[in-house]
Amino acid sequence: MRSQEDWNKWYAQPNPWGTEGSDKDWVRTEILLDRLGQAYFDYTLDIGCGEGAMTNVVSALSRRTMAFDISSLAIERARSRFPGIDFSQGELLEVITRPDIRAIPFSLILVSEVLYYLQTDEERRAAIAGIAQLGAPACIYYFSVIVTGASKYRRYFTHDEFMGLLSVHFNVIDGFASVAEVPTALDLFLRLVPSRRTRRRFLRAWTTSRETAGSRHMGYLAVKRCTDSLPNH
Determine phi and psi for 223, rounding to 5 degrees: -125, 160
Decide if 20 contacts 85 (C-beta within 8 A): no
- In this structure, is residue 46 part of a structural domain? yes
Q: What's the confidence (pLDDT) of residue 228?
A: 58
Distance, CA of 182 to CA of 204 (rounded, Å): 11
Of the listed ranges 93-97, 131-135, 171-175, 194-198, the least confidently predicted one is 194-198
Residue 127 placed within a domain: yes
Q: Is residue 230 part of a domain?
A: no
Higher per-residue pLDDT: 191 or 224: 224
Question: Looking at residue 115, what is its pLDDT?
Answer: 97
Q: pLDDT grade, residue 182 (50/70/90)?
A: confident
Secondary structure of residue 217 in the 3-state scheme: strand
Q: What is the pLDDT of residue 1?
A: 61
Residue 233 has a pLDDT of: 42
**Domain of 173: which CATH number?**
3.40.50.150
Q: Is the pLDDT of residue 157 over 60?
A: yes
Decide if pLDDT at 231 tops 60: no
pLDDT, tens only, 74-89: 999 999 999 999 999 9
pLDDT of residue 195 exceeding 90: yes
- pLDDT band for 95, please (50, 70, 90 cuts): very high
Question: Cα 16 to chain center, whole Å?
Answer: 17
Summarised one tens digit per residue, pLDDT across range 137-148 is: 999 999 999 999
Average pLDDT, the chain: 92
pTM comes to 0.92
pLDDT value of position 151: 82
Q: Tens digits of per-residue pLDDT, 30-67?
A: 999 999 998 999 999 999 999 999 999 999 999 999 99
Kindly state the percentage of the chain with pLDDT values over 90.
72
| Lowest mean pLDDT across 87-101, 114-128, 179-193 | 179-193
Contacting residues for 89 by C-beta, under 8 A, at least 6 apart: 4, 68, 69, 70, 71, 72, 75
Does 181 map to a domain?
yes
Average pLDDT over every residue of 158-184: 92
Report how far residue 87's alpha carbon sits from residue 73's, in angstroms, rounded to the nearest whole number.
Answer: 12
- According to the model, what pLDDT value does residue 167 have? 97
| CA distances in angstroms from 124 to 7, 34, 179, listed in the order given | 19, 28, 22
Range of the structural domain that residue 70 is part of:
4-224
For the chain, the domain total comes to 1
User: Do the domain assignments include residue 166?
Assistant: yes
